Structures are given as C-alpha cells and as structure tokens.
Amino acid sequence: MTGLFSYPKRNLRKLIKNGDFKEAIELGNNLEEKYSQDHDFLFIMGSMFYILEDPKMTLHYIDRVLEISEYDVEALSLKLRVHQHLKENDIAIECCKKILSVNSDNYEVKDVLTELEG
C-alpha cells in the first residue's frame, strides 16, 4: 500500500488515463488537503472534471490554479473552453486576451477571440 502514495500525482494521472474516474476522485479528495496549493495537482483535478463534463468542478480547480499562476496558458485555455461552452463570452474573451498577452502567436485563440467579439 505504501507504493500507492509514493507518487500520488502519477497515480492520479494513471487512474484518469485508465478511465478509473471514481477511484481518481476518491484519491484526489484524499490528497487535496496535502496538495491544496500544488499547481500540478489542481490542474490534474480540473482536467479530470473537464473530461467528465463537469464545468462547475473544472472551474473550481482551474480557478485555483490561476490564483497561483495567473497567466498559466494551459489553465487559461481550459477555462476558456468551459466558459465558451457555457456561453459566458465576456469571461471567455478575458481568457483569450490573457493567453494572447503571453503568447501572441496563438492563432487558435486569435480565431476564438474574433468569433466571440464578432
């Protein structure tokens, strides 16, 4: 049993990759107190809930990632997709602008921004 917790984020990723979402959620909930400020852990959890199509939980974790690293492009991209899906265009536009402030060559985001503003 010790091996299971030696590399908890790796185990969490493996459970998600294998589609063992119930076990991944349980493990994540058990680890959350210890990793509550861990950027990678929070992103993994947010990504899992994105896969599970749970926008509320996705944003819960991704917003926490962005509290730690405001201009994390991967987290902003995930947040953008969720808000775009929810038709919350103002927030999606804000995400696009932050992404482009970090990576002005992101043509996919430029296209999304043009679509949202048009």
Put simply, whether the predicted model's pTM sits higher than 0.85 gets the answer yes
Q: For residue 3, what pLDDT is reported?
A: 46
* pLDDT tens sequence across 11-27: 999 999 999 999 999 99
DSSP 7: S
CB-count exposure of residue 91 (10 Å: 0-12, 13-18, 19+): middle
- Residue type, position 80, single letter: L
Q: What's the mean pLDDT in 25-32?
A: 96
* pLDDT tens sequence across 69-100: 999 999 999 999 999 999 999 999 999 999 99
Residues 108 and 76 sit within 8 Å (Cβ to Cβ): no
Q: What is the spatial distance between Cα 33 and Cα 19, in angstroms, rounded to a whole number?
A: 24
Q: What is the spatial distance between Cα 74 and Cα 59, in angstroms, rounded to a whole number?
A: 13
Q: What is the spatial distance between Cα 81 and Cα 27, in angstroms, rounded to a whole number?
A: 26
State the helix-helix crossing angle for 73-85 and 39-51, rounded to 10 degrees. 30
Q: How far from each other are the two terminal CA atoms of the chain, in whole angstroms?
A: 55
Q: What is the spatial distance between Cα 19 and Cα 71, in angstroms, rounded to a whole number?
A: 29
